[in-house]
Amino acid sequence: MGGIIECNKFNWNISVHINMEKRLRFIRLASFVLIVGISGVKTEYGIDGIAGSRAPCPVEGQPVKVDHIDKSNCFSCICKNGFVECKSDMYCPPREGCHMIVETSRDQCCRKCKGCTYRNKHYESHTEWTDPENPCKVMRCEAGVVTVSDLQCYTPCANPLPPEPGKCCPTCPECKINGQEATDDRDVISDDHCLKCRCNKGKMTCSKQACPVLQCTARSQYHPPGECCPVCRGTRAVLTVAKTCRLQEIFMREGEKFSIDKCTNCTCLDETSICHRSACPVLDCAPDLQKSVPGSCCKQCIMPEEVRTQCSQGGRSCKCHRGMPSCAMTRCNVTLPCAPGTKLVHLPGECCEKCVEVEGVCMVFGDPHYKTFDGKIYTFQGLGKYMLISECKSQSFSIRVANDFPNKISKTYAITKRVAVRYGDIRLNLQQKGRIKLNRKKIMLPYKKDGKLRIEKKNGNVEVFLQNGVKIFWSGKSFLEVTVPATYKNKLCGLCGNFNGNVQDDLKTKRGHLVRDSEILSFGGSWCAGSKATCAASSRNTKQLARTTFCSNYRPEKNQKNRCKFLGNPELVGECGSKLNYFKYYRTCKMDMCKCPNGKCYCDSLMAYARECEKLGVKLPEDWKVKSLCDDEKIKRPKLVKKPSFTTVDIQKYIKQNHFNRTRNPLMIH
């Protein structure tokens, strides 16, 4: 019996010890969370990514397998611009400003900002919803905190329409406030920056709601200029404890109530801080007249003693209200980052920036090297005429190139010597040295035609602008660049590829067969333009040129510099080396410099690399052409003054005047 008593006593001691240990562990963990929450602030930008330097890669657009990166199943890597570029296969919500980042398991790809649980339903952070039974009650989740507030409606029109089904506020039949027009892509903000008006199908709704309760402390908050509410700066990761809530520096148990200020009352429910906050009335006075009043949660309009009867305010649409200006202005809606293949641009005539699809660019340079619309670089030394670009179905637009030897002496390589453009009734021929023919007649530059065509000459280069948005850049020698708008996606064919965003299927023949890189002659030959006899002759000449092994390993002579190294010189290409790998352009440069007659065959590869750098936003030195000796401008040298020539009569006269003897040495006249 005693043994049993001792045993029970021992179990009771263990139970007491375990309960005490749990309490101590909870207290230590809570203290640790508070410490981390207060001092563990760090700044992070963007979505989850991979740290480290980018590795070069040889095949543009080819998938690259990288096994040693953490969570490799979350990323896919391809070769882009000569570097291995990895991106997340799934969208990770933005975390900037989140002070409640929660850790995820190893099989999850994103670190997320803590969401909220409200009435047994989970909501992601940065989401907003309304009460189905009361559309005027708005809830917003921010980093584990739900802010509950009532909308304040505002109707800046004389005859508002009743609220639409499921909506809180009346609508105005016109999308205007103080003369400013709201559209689907921009809001109108007034003197009260918390009042927002948005247009939907020609009707405008204006409302004001309370600012969300923030997870960060006041010292980590800042107020962006012109914005209604403060936001958190930086991010913070914390450990969470079951059946508890954490808000700023406050740590509460499930079911407890607390306040963070005199206007905000909160309750810890389902590990979420549910905070109720009232929206303030709409203010119709200038910002400098909006003052805080003791004992009130909201600012009020404090009017000056001297009230004017007239008022004006430059730069914004204003009306005079109680002798003071009440103004409104438009603001573009904040959108997510542009999707891959698109870019943010400011279109002419538009108020706000929009995400639009990127243009396609194809280049031909050197002994002809081709860079397709989708980014593949290959070499096809085809002699003859070839279809470079064609609108495959309607054939309403096409560009052909004529490749030939540069001159009668140099027959070891070919260049693009002429370009033929067909668009509608336009037949444009771009020739050597900048000569232009339009419908078989020579024209002088600049030239315009009925809005369909515009041709200019800048720095020795010819630039063509077609009505369909196509732009052509021709050096007048052997460099050609064609830019087409995104409307031509999946509609083109030819040596420049199909412009579908996939670099892997650019080598499609005229009959639609996809060939390998080793079958370039077959691919290029299929796009020969002309009769069967002409194309057969071009094929024979091309094969004969391809068999000429003149460029097995180019090395400059002892007294000659390796001009291809200009591609990696920061003085010429700026910081482009970090954005675009120059390896492929260096390889085309070395090919072109073999048996180079004038020593400047590197200039086309350098031009191609420089123009790609500019498209990536790199600002190149203005004198890069001069420093690389690729400047086409001829150096003006002073004219030599010819010395006078002396006739025999002049010499005889000179000898007689100076009494020279004929037996003396003859006088040397320079």
Each residue of 76-105: pLDDT tens digit?
A: 788 888 888 887 666 677 778 888 888 665
Arithmetic mean of pLDDT, 249-270: 88
Please say if the pLDDT value at position 626 is more than 80. yes
Confidence of residue 544 (pLDDT cuts 50, 70, 90): confident
Confidence of residue 387 (pLDDT cuts 50, 70, 90): very high
3-state secondary structure 440-468: CEECCCCEEECCCEEEEEECCEEEEEECC
Query: Of residues 404 and 662, which shows the higher confidence score?
Result: 404
Please say if the pLDDT value at position 250 is more than 80. yes
Arithmetic mean of pLDDT, 343-353: 72
Most confident of 251-265, 290-304, 388-402: 388-402
Arithmetic mean of pLDDT, 519-542: 88
Specify the pLDDT at position 319: 55
Query: Of residues 590 and 351, which shows the higher confidence score?
Result: 590
Specify the pLDDT at position 103: 66
Confidence of residue 396 (pLDDT cuts 50, 70, 90): confident
Each residue of 420-435: pLDDT tens digit?
A: 999 988 999 999 988 9
> Which residues, other chains included, contact 534 with Cβ-Cβ below 8 Å and sequence gap of 6+?
384, 385, 528
Confidence of residue 419 (pLDDT cuts 50, 70, 90): very high
Please say if the pLDDT value at position 646 is more than 50. yes
> Which residues, other chains included, contact 568 with Cβ-Cβ below 8 Å and sequence gap of 6+?
577, 582, 586
Confidence of residue 263 (pLDDT cuts 50, 70, 90): confident
Q: Give, as one character, the DSSP assignment of residue 668.
A: P
Please say if the pLDDT value at position 186 is more than 50. yes
Arithmetic mean of pLDDT, 355-362: 88
Specify the pLDDT at position 462: 93
Arithmetic mean of pLDDT, 175-189: 64
Query: Of residues 361 and 561, which shows the higher confidence score?
Result: 361
How far apart are the C-alpha atoms of 455 and 438, rounded to whole Å? 11
Query: Of residues 4 and 251, which shows the higher confidence score?
Result: 251
Query: Of residues 604 and 351, which shows the higher confidence score?
Result: 604
Specify the pLDDT at position 237: 81
**Please, what is the average pLDDT of the chain?**
77
Residue 285 Cα distances to 66, 189, 224, 321, 346, angstroms = 60, 13, 20, 8, 33
**Residue with structure tokens 């799934």?**
90
Query: Of residues 294 and 521, which shows the higher confidence score?
Result: 521
How far apart are the C-alpha atoms of 145 and 174, rounded to whole Å? 36
Specify the pLDDT at position 411: 77
Each residue of 360-379: pLDDT tens digit?
A: 999 999 889 999 999 899 99
Each residue of 574-592: pLDDT tens digit?
A: 888 888 888 889 888 888 8
Global confidence as pTM: 0.58
